[in-house]
């Protein structure tokens, strides 16, 4: 049985939460391997709606869940999310949640810096969630981060605080802010350490032991490939690698541990925040997609930008992330359109491109080339088999497969976990 990595194949918000929840029931362990609490995964189970940001989606069903070393952890956000779940009847314990001891911490001054930079950037705003994700990753790479394991020995973090303060105090002064209050920071960390430490262990060891026993591991990504720091629409990207290769490095397992790579993609395209978006529809069609798809960010509440499916970008995601199969979500949002368009290429300075260029000016200048397909009037909402889909909907799916050079493994037709058409079982591969 294969282990499975689930990643977003667009700009995030593709419906990963439902798909991970659907798969988690058959997994033995679920692992978050990158990102932070800037992610937003919505799970609908019966009459209850769960909105997760940091916790792995398996936690709601009691599947053993892991926050891997590739995640940046805000301990106060973790506590708030655990308490919110407890209010919804889900008890998160050290038996169900394990946190890597090497996770870097997101600290209050990271959030401050994130907001100060965005406010000062004017037209150059990235559109971050202002939750300190980027600054925390910068400190990790700069070798000055305070990590989860340091919470167990706060009396010894003086030298690391010196490194942090040397960097951040200069930045804060540039924004007219006072230096870090080191004593207050240490006291805040002492206050949260008792909550976090019971969940902490060397998860790389636990995961490798699980693999050796033949346990099925589900790797859960956050954001999407088009927000990858290397392969996304830079600089309008997140601060981590979101591609499937990070499942190995962000969990402490070798690349051979990742088997089937399931890419999640909407049947159309959305984006939150700033950055290029070739197929964006700033018209009544875009409004219709947004209204029918309830397109508002899980974390930020921001309205998502909407457009037709961009098969060029999706094909690029398939290539750079080694996607084995696609889970196509929100097919029902396209119900009732007389015509549906799909981007099959770009025009740039008189040339036709079959890939998305890397430079920001070129990305902003490309014009999409569309292929028009006949729509369908019948409803696909809640369909659970091919037989329940209109012929034109099936034709649309088959054409998408051709354009992105990847088979569709699952089709999601509503937020309900059972409203899923299984074409190819990722765990059986």
3-state secondary structure labels for all residues of 266-332: ECCEEECCCCCCCCECCCHHHHHHHHHCCCECCCCCCECEEECEEHHHHHHHHHHHCCCEEEEECHH
Q: Is 289 exposed, middle or buried (0-12, 13-18, 19+ CB in 10 A)?
A: buried
pTM score of the predicted model: 0.92
Residue 13 known to be catalytic: yes
Residue 41 known to be catalytic: yes
Residues 6+ away with beta carbon under 8 Å from 138 = 239
Residues 6+ away with beta carbon under 8 Å from 162 = none
Given 13, 228, 310, 419, the catalytic residue: 13
Task: Give the H/E segment covering residue 249.
Answer: helix 246-249
Q: Which residue has the tokens 């969990």?
A: 251
The values of phi and psi at residue 371, to 5°, are -110, 130
Dihedral Cα 136, 138, 143, 145, nearest 10 deg? -10
Cis peptide before 283 (omega within 30 of 0): no
Q: Which two tokens stand for residue 64?
A: 């053993």
Contact (Cβ atoms closer than 8 angstroms) between residue 135 and residue 114: yes
Given 37, 41, 110, 231, the catalytic residue: 41
Q: Which residues of the chain have pLDDT under 70?
A: 1, 123, 127, 297-301, 429
Cα 341 from chain centre: 26
Q: Which residue has the tokens 């292929």?
A: 371
Positive or negative CA dihedral for 123, 314, 240, 76? Answer: positive
Helix, strand, or coil here: 100? strand
> What's the CA gap between 104 and 151, in Å, rounded?
11
Query: Helix, strand, coil % (nearest 5) of the chain?
Result: 40, 20, 40
Dihedral Cα 393, 395, 401, 404, nearest 10 deg? -90
Contact (Cβ atoms closer than 8 angstroms) between residue 340 and residue 400: no
């Amino acid at each position: 049985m294969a282990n499975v990595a689930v990643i977003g194949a667009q700009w995030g918000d593709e419906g990963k939460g439902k798909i991970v929840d659907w798969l988690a029931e058959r997994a033995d362990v679920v692992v978050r391997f990158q990102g932070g609490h800037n992610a937003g995964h919505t799970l609908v189970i019966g009459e209850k709606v769960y909105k997760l940001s940091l916790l792995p989606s398996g936690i709601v069903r009691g599947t053993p869940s892991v926050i891997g070393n590739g995640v940046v952890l805000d301990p106060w956000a973790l506590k708030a999310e655990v308490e919110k779940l407890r209010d919804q009847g889900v008890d998160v314990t050290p038996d169900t949640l394990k946190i890597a001891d090497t996770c870097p911490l997101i600290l209050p001054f990271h959030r401050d810096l994130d907001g100060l930079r965005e406010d000062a950037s004017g037209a150059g705003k990235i559109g971050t969630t202002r939750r300190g994700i980027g600054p925390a990753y910068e400190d990790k790479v700069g070798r000055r981060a305070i990590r989860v394991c340091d919470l167990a020995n706060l009396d010894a973090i003086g030298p690391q605080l010196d490194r942090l303060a040397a960097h951040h105090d200069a930045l804060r002064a540039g924004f007219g802010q006072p230096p870090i209050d080191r004593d207050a920071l240490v006291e805040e960390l002492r206050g949260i350490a008792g909550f976090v430490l019971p969940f902490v262990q060397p998860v790389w060891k636990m995961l490798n032991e699980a693999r050796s026993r033949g346990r099925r591991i589900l790797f859960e990504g956050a954001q999407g490939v088009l927000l990858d720091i290397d392969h996304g629409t830079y600089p309008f990207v997140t601060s981590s690698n979101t591609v499937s290769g990070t499942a190995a490095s962000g969990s402490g397992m070798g690349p051979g541990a990742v088997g089937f790579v399931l890419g999640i993609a909407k049947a159309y395209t959305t984006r939150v925040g700033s950055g290029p978006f070739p197929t964006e529809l700033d018209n009544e069609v875009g409004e219709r997609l947004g209204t029918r798809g309830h397109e508002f960010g899980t974390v930020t509440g921001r309205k998502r930008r909407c457009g037709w499916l961009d098969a060029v970008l999706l094909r690029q995601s398939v290539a750079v992330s080694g996607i084995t199969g696609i889970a196509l979500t929100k097919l029902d949002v396209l119900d009732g359109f007389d015509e549906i368009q799909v981007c099959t290429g770009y025009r740039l300075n008189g040339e036709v491109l079959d890939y998305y260029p890397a430079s920001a000016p070129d990305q902003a200048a490309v014009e999409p080339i569309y292929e028009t397909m006949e729509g369908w009037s019948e409803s696909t909402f809640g369909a659970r088999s091919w037989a329940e889909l209109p012929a034109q909907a099936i034709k649309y799916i088959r054409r998408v497969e051709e354009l992105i050079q990847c088979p569709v493994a699952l089709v999601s037709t509503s937020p309900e976990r059972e409203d899923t058409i299984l074409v190819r079982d990722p765990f059986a591969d």
